[in-house]
Chain A
């Protein structure tokens, strides 16, 4: 079975540019999460979707960040404009069913903003 698929795996961009990260969750999973990992803050939840609807976006750092899930098999996380402090690993994850079930992570998108 295919796991969570993220693209791009690595991205280097200049400050001010728009960055779009993409995610395909595991088929049949109805919850999708975007996490960010940095040395300073560890793993932190940015946003959570259930059945394609954003449920909790309290972790989104600021208006420069936006996320969409137009259908059950695709989500994007967009940063516009990007800043050097956005450099991090961004993980997409998905889960079937209710809270408490296992959340499976993609391989991450390594973003560097110079």
Chain B
């Protein structure tokens, strides 16, 4: 069975601080896919990144970066120089190659204060 754990339920930072959101997953499959989604206060779920289990390269997109480590079953998300607009709930999710569903973690609420 697949499981995603986001141990940080809520994080509060001051603007311009760097912040890392943790994600730990469990799966028996060797092929799987990891995702991050953002849910801003308006409520929609916005796709941020997809990573397959064979690609452990870290990825950077502007102020966002992701660190995938199979050895620790983690897929952490870092926001550099946070901004107030980054305030949202962030979800990590897992999809196994043999299944069809996306399993979500409980989410981390990030509050960036000016």
State the A residues within 8 Å of B (CB). Answer: 31, 33, 42-43, 45, 48, 50, 55-56, 89, 91, 93, 99-108, 110
> Please, which residues of chain B bring their CB within 8 A of the CB of A108?
43-45
> Please, which residues of chain B bring their CB within 8 A of the CB of A48?
100-101
Measured as residues with beta carbon below 8 angstroms from the partner, the interface class of chain B is 20 to 34
Report Cα–Cα, A106/B95, bound state, in Å.
Answer: 19
* Contacting pair B100 A31 (CB below 8 A): yes
> Please, which residues of chain A bring their CB within 8 A of the CB of B102?
33, 45, 103
* Contacting pair A110 B43 (CB below 8 A): yes
* Contacting pair B44 A55 (CB below 8 A): no
Q: From A50, A104, A106, give the contact of B100 (CB < 8 A).
A: A50
> Please, which residues of chain B bring their CB within 8 A of the CB of A45?
101-102
* Contacting pair A42 B47 (CB below 8 A): no
Of all chain B residues, the one with the shortest Cβ separation from A55 is B100
* Contacting pair A104 B97 (CB below 8 A): no
Report Cα–Cα, A36/B71, bound state, in Å.
Answer: 32
> Please, which residues of chain B bring their CB within 8 A of the CB of A50?
100
Q: Does B104 contact A (CB under 8 A)?
A: yes
* Contacting pair A42 B97 (CB below 8 A): no
Report Cα–Cα, A45/B99, bound state, in Å.
Answer: 13
Q: Which 3 A-B pairs give the minimum distances between C-beta atoms?
A: A105-B45, A43-B104, A107-B44
> Please, which residues of chain A bring their CB within 8 A of the CB of B35?
102-103
> Please, which residues of chain A bring their CB within 8 A of the CB of B31?
100
Report Cα–Cα, A33/B107, bound state, in Å.
Answer: 20
Whole-angstrom distance from the CB of B5 to the nearest CB of chain A? 12
Query: Interface readout for B70-114 with A: 1 if CB under 8 Å, 0 if not?
Result: 000000000000000000000100011111111010110000000
* Contacting pair A107 B100 (CB below 8 A): no
* Contacting pair B106 A99 (CB below 8 A): no
